[in-house]
A = this chain, B = another copy of it.
């Protein structure tokens, strides 16, 4: 039995998605107990959407599912690391491969790389 500590942060803990092959960090989202259980059972990264207040199977709209290859837990059991295969080539709703496409340079933001897909073609408006 795997016991995670959801209490410290009010029921939600951060989950990092990392590309299992390249090591690139793709995104960070949140999980409640149910999302973690669903991820274990289904093998697809499942988060809790704070804005929609519901379970969120990543890629259910876009088709860009994250196939879970490995799950790691941190020392104090309050953060999850998913090593995933990112279907569709991009994790970010903006079409960028990774959500972390903004680089801090000399006190301002520089956009790194180009979107892999056009969000308007993937999501319903």
On A, residues with C-beta under 8 Å from B are: 1-2, 8, 14, 16, 18, 22-25, 27-28, 40, 50, 70-77, 79, 81, 92-94, 96, 99-104, 107-109, 112
Partner of A104, one of B40, B101, B112: B40
Partner of A70, one of B16, B92, B103: B103
Q: Decide if B100 touches A81 in the complex (CB within 8 Å).
A: yes
Whole-angstrom distance between the alpha carbons of A16 and B40 in the complex?
23
Q: Decide if A2 touches B109 in the complex (CB within 8 Å).
A: yes
Q: Which B residues touch A96, using CB under 8 A?
A: 75
Q: How far is the CB of A41 from chain B (nearest CB, A)?
A: 11
Q: How many copies does the complex hold?
A: 2
Whole-angstrom distance between the alpha carbons of A2 and B109 in the complex?
7
Chain A: interface secondary structure?
loop
Whole-angstrom distance between the alpha carbons of A2 and B72 in the complex?
31
Whole-angstrom distance between the alpha carbons of A108 and B40 in the complex?
11
Q: Decide if A75 touches B92 in the complex (CB within 8 Å).
A: yes
| Beyond A74-B100, A81-B100, 4 extra complex contacts between A and B, CB < 8 Å | A16-B16, A23-B23, A72-B101, A76-B99
Partner of A72, one of B18, B70, B103, B108: B103
